[in-house]
Chain A
């Protein structure tokens, strides 16, 4: 009913989903911090924000994320892609701790353990449900 083998290209695609989601959000956040608060009376500032290097880079990276996410959903289940790519949260925390020397509380470490375990559960299972085979099996059971 389910297929588990992913090719090297498909695994690379999942890695791209993970990295681009984290990097895109970070770039946007950094860019918007540099722009500062945008008032509802001056929405034109949002257009200006789009032209700043960090925000523009964030948008380009998030377009890459969306393209790779759509590609992943064309050959893997939603319930496989979402948990499998959530390892991005862990990468962000570890980068923050070891690269930026940010404090990671015990609760956050526990969160990292939970997410890693969740990714481990889903990664060891099948990636795609063949709906035709599921339907065929149900019909066979009904006829039996």
Chain B
């Protein structure tokens, strides 16, 4: 930490963002595969919708990645600068999610959505000031 403070902080932020993005993309992919939860709930009630979600291995993997992101955040906060790591990780995740959603989920990320992701990313970073 003392010898390479910036490198360590960048690595920790990268770790949080990577796990959070993997978690979001896996969960989104699982939900897309399961289908409209409102319709499932109408057809088989809340237990049916819960079973459809909880029995998806992809959803389980997504939750695991989210948990790893959470623990990476806790580790980072205990070693690094809170005012840098929190906003940096939160804002960068918007952009990495847009990239991952385009390539892994096949979402139509047009110019409007890129602008939205970048604007929200900048906005969240500015809120930390």
Contacts of B67 in A (CB 8 A): none
B interface residue count range (under 10 / 10 to 19 / 20 to 34 / 35 or more): 35 or more
Chain A 125-138 near chain B by CB (<8 Å), digits 1 or 0 = 11001010010000
Contact B125 A125 (CB under 8 A): no
Complex-state Cα separation, A129 to B127, whole angstroms: 31
Looking at the assembled complex, report how far the CB atom of B60 sits from the nearest CB atom of chain A, in whole angstroms. 13
Tally A residues with Cβ within 8 Å of B. 39
Complex-state Cα separation, A111 to B119, whole angstroms: 9
Looking at the assembled complex, report how far the CB atom of B56 sits from the nearest CB atom of chain A, in whole angstroms. 10
Contact A108 B101 (CB under 8 A): no
Contact B123 A134 (CB under 8 A): no
Given A71-B37, A86-B120, CB of A107 within 8 Å of CB of B126:
yes
Contact B32 A79 (CB under 8 A): no
Given A119-B120, A121-B115, CB of A78 within 8 Å of CB of B38:
no
Contact A89 B124 (CB under 8 A): yes
Answer whether residue A39 sits at the interface, using C-beta atoms and an 8 A cutoff.
no
Contact B38 A115 (CB under 8 A): no
Which residue of chain A has its CB nearest to the CB of B112? A125
Contacts of A1 in B (CB 8 A): 108
Given A78-B105, A79-B113, A105-B129, CB of A9 within 8 Å of CB of B38:
yes
Given A82-B24, A89-B123, CB of A74 within 8 Å of CB of B31:
yes
Answer whether residue A23 sits at the interface, using C-beta atoms and an 8 A cutoff.
no
Contact A114 B101 (CB under 8 A): no
Sampled A-B contacts (20; CB under 8 Å): A70-B27, A77-B28, A78-B107, A79-B107, A82-B94, A83-B117, A86-B94, A108-B127, A111-B124, A115-B127, A116-B123, A117-B119, A117-B123, A118-B119, A118-B120, A119-B120, A121-B113, A122-B112, A122-B116, A131-B106
Interface residues, chain A, CB within 8 Å of chain B? 1-2, 9-10, 70-71, 73-75, 77-80, 82-83, 86, 89, 93, 105, 107-108, 110-119, 121-122, 124-126, 129, 131, 134
Given A79-B117, A89-B123, 7 additional A-B pairs, CB 8 A: A70-B27, A73-B31, A79-B107, A108-B129, A111-B125, A112-B127, A118-B119
